[in-house]
Amino acid sequence: MIVSLLYSVTRKLLMVPSVLLRRGTTKEAELLVLRHENAVLRRQLAGTVRYEPADRFWFAALSGLIPRRRWREVFPVTPGTLLAWHRRFIAAKWDYTAHRRSGRPPAPAAIKMLVLRLARENPRWGHRRIHGELTRLGHRMAASTVWQILHAAGVDPTPRRAGPTWREFLTTQAEGIVAADFFHIDTALGRRLYALVFLEHGTRRLHITGVTARPTRDWAVQQARNLTSGLGPRIDSLRFLLRERDGKYGEAFDAVFQAEDMEILNSAPRAPRMNAHCERIIGSIRREALDHILIMNEAHARQVLATYEQHYNQHRPHQARSQLPPDADHQPATGHDLNPRKVLRNRILGGVINEYRYAA
């Protein structure tokens, strides 16, 4: 663009003498052409003559001062070459490619982040529903722009992403899920015991139903019956039993819960994260109790696990419940003045776990 403008200005300036003097201009132009040609030849005596952009610029500009019938005699190139150089310089004036962008202007980065956030938090919303929400928030754009943002980010259309993820399902259905899992205990004498744990997702209430050295299917069925009878009216709010694909459960085990109108959810093989809540509580039992106590036999294991279950349900705070234990229904009273009240410690499992409360 700049070269084209400079070329046009140069041609106009060179026309000024021909207008004012009206004679001798052609001869002067011919002399300039010859001088420039000599300069080009002297610059390239050792090789082939090559015309640089500046050479083409001056030859094309001076061609306007010399009649076209004399171009073949004066210029070192053919008239067609001169006209081609002239057209190239003039054409650059009308080239707006570098200054023009096709299509709509790109959406701001903040709008793109908002579109992706709406798609992530509302998996059932299509691009038109997201477009409507953006319009309500005051962001004016085409629905096709929203689609392009989602497509560029690899977000599938709503029918292919409407189904909730496993995490979303567990979160929304937490009040109706009870999970089951086995874990083992190695005694001080090298004997291996097995315990069956149930955990209510909504309240985080822990149930350790039994300990045995031989976890048969009949034993697991009896533990399921003990759990359903011990839940009482709360069992009406439970809809799903989440368990692993372990052969110790069996069809009779599932039938106990199906009789209470509960659906059985089996986790995938070797996928502990699908039963992450149970895996985490088993880890807590080990870290907080079993790793610090030598278990002697089944009776000792039952006593330790029963004590821990009572501590977990009645005293231990839980982050998912705003630091409330599973059996608490309200926040404890806030103590504004702690000096007059004495804090007592209650040793659990011989001091492995401590509980604190104010003196009466």
CA distance 10 to 4: 10
Helices (H), the chain: 2-20, 25-43, 53-62, 71-74, 79-91, 109-121, 127-136, 143-152, 158-161, 166-172, 217-231, 250-258, 276-288, 298-314
CA distance 352 to 153: 51
Bridge partners (DSSP) listed for residue 182: 196
CA distance 209 to 230: 10
- pLDDT string in tens for the chain (360-residue length): 566 666 666 666 666 555 444 455 666 666 667 666 766 666 666 566 677 777 777 777 777 777 777 777 777 788 888 788 778 877 766 666 655 566 667 888 898 999 999 888 887 788 888 888 988 888 888 888 888 898 888 887 766 555 667 677 777 777 888 999 999 999 999 999 999 999 999 888 999 999 999 999 999 999 999 999 988 888 888 899 999 998 899 899 999 999 999 999 998 888 888 888 899 999 999 999 999 999 999 999 999 999 999 999 999 888 877 788 888 766 665 555 556 678 888 999 988 999 888 887
Burial class (CB in 10 A: 0-12, 13-18, 19+), 257: buried
Q: What is the pTM of this model?
A: 0.57
